[in-house]
Chain A
């Protein structure tokens, strides 16, 4: 054990004898790690917020759907007996709430024209708590459970149809049997999500009336959406919910119900990871150079140690320990700087508008970004990054270690 402590002493003192070089190496690794840690956690925060907003407005973190609905969305592909399922699912500890959606297509008409729309039959009281549509009402008010023949539409649609609050619109569609169905509504609210796709196409009506128009019974819905308390519990909740599937009700994750958003997040996260990975690799090369130089310039010292009878394995451990401490201090520095910055942005948020100018909202794949970004620090990212950098630094010492056994002691000491 004393030998080990002596090696630790040697390793630390060897790092200390070239203070400037050690400082630069630790700084390089720390800087690279800090940048990577900050941007990866910031990315995770943005993706988490984007996903959270999207799933709350749409079909939840996961949902029950008819097995064929994803391939060819149609009103006759619905889930029956949703109340029973809802009751069962609501008992799961991971579930925050459930929501029902009846989704179809139709045409909205006014005296000034007609246009195709996506019709969403929603539960107003639940949507008001969770959906961003309710938050983005710019004129009038959002739907209430007691409303009859009330509709909320996007501001682009309202502009196109030249309708205002209280004006009448007619919604035409085919019910589940293919029969034409029409209903008169009064515009109760106009929303502005910031995404043209939603503002010019989406309309929301109370679910009772949606069921009536599409001739669905009051215990059926296109989607039974499940919102989780913590999005990271998705796999756990999915596993438990598997028991409630039937041949007419299958489980779909948000990645399946919102494929555009999912693909965007996957692609953007991938490119972010690659970029940060390159950054870390560049910094690790600095460390590699330091370790190699440090070993090469001490060939004479190593020869002396070997001549005195130091076992080769002890010299190897000494070099590994030097890399161990170099990596440790670099990882610690990177963690403190990058983690500290990420923590600040997680708590206080950072408004992108401070550095960029946007016209309107920031939109991605039809979903609106909140310009106030918050990082999301997870122990997995911190451990993988800091541990990875630390471990990589240690592994880099293996190259000079290989040279130790080939040192021609007598020649070097001559």
Chain B
């Protein structure tokens, strides 16, 4: 238990290498970082710098080659797949670049999915999900399937799914990459507002200058190494 109680995520010399020998790629190379409660942090860097890989090993979607990762003070590096799945379910909200909504579920059902997995009673779920959809301005799309929604609306549903269950942290991998500039800007504002008003912690990868400008903290990743860690005013 090396982590501070307000520290949500901590990595210690986290490494993730792919391949071997001459084709060895050091996607994440001895990264040390701490994410505190309420942060709105962006991981910046060019394509291939290791942003997504870093998010993946933090969330347990991928295993580290070496090093340690702590979540809420508990070392998760040694977790089994089952424990990692439970960690993601209970503590992490995901927003993906491609939205990744379940196509056979409506917007409401997608947002409800994690709450259902957690076993929350239906009436509580309904109140919670509808409140979140309302907040994100897509309550009128609750019964629409993803194929009936625009990209921006789908990403809002993805954010609703991520925050409805009150996760410890929301990890977002290039959340605005597939959106037009106007939609991307409104989405960034929305996430910033959720961080500001609801106190939701965000950690996302991006090279979108709008996100980087809105971020309170920017970690710059170059060739798998954190080359800069700056705070925006």
Contacts and interface: CB of A to CB of B under 8 A. Distances in A.
Interface stretch (B65-73, B116-124, B225-233): B116-124
B103 A301 contact: yes
A3 B103 contact: no
Given A2-B116, A3-B116, A307-B88, A409 B82 contact: no
28 contacts: A2-B122, A3-B119, A6-B116, A10-B104, A13-B105, A16-B104, A17-B104, A300-B100, A301-B103, A305-B102, A307-B59, A307-B61, A307-B88, A308-B88, A308-B89, A308-B114, A308-B117, A308-B161, A309-B86, A309-B87, A309-B114, A309-B117, A311-B85, A311-B86, A405-B81, A410-B56, A410-B61, A413-B100
B36 interface: no
Interface in A304-322: 304-312, 314
A409 B52 CA distance: 13
Interface in B79-130: 81-82, 85-90, 92, 94, 96, 100, 102-105, 109, 113-114, 116-117, 119, 122
A14 interface: yes
B62 interface: yes
A3 B112 CA distance: 12
A410 B50 CA distance: 13
A413 B116 contact: no
Contact of B104 (A14, A308, A413): A14
A310 B85 contact: yes
A301 B105 CA distance: 12
Contact of B102 (A304, A309, A314, A409): A304
Contacts of A310: 85, 89, 117
A414 interface: yes
A304 B61 contact: no
Nearest to A309: B89
Nearest to A311: B85
Contacts of A306: 85
B114 to A, nearest CB: 6
B85 A309 contact: yes
Interface in A1-45: 2-3, 6, 9-10, 13-14, 16-17
Nearest to B18: A411
Contacts of B96: 304, 413
A276 to B, nearest CB: 36
A304 B100 contact: yes
B142 to A, nearest CB: 16
A194 B82 CA distance: 74
Which of B56, B90, B117, B161 is the most central at the interface, judged by chain A CB atoms within 10 Å of its CB?
B117
B103 A308 contact: no
Given A3-B117, A413-B61, A309 B88 contact: yes
Contacts of B61: 307, 409-410, 413
A13 B52 contact: no
Which of A17, A306, A314, A413 is the most central at the interface, judged by chain B CB atoms within 10 Å of its CB?
A413
A308 B52 contact: no
A73 to B, nearest CB: 72
Contacts of A6: 113, 116
Given A3-B116, A9-B109, A310-B89, 12 more contacts: A2-B116, A2-B122, A3-B119, A10-B105, A14-B104, A301-B102, A307-B61, A307-B94, A308-B88, A311-B85, A405-B81, A413-B96
B103 A414 contact: no
A414 B62 CA distance: 11
Nearest to B87: A309
Nearest to B106: A13
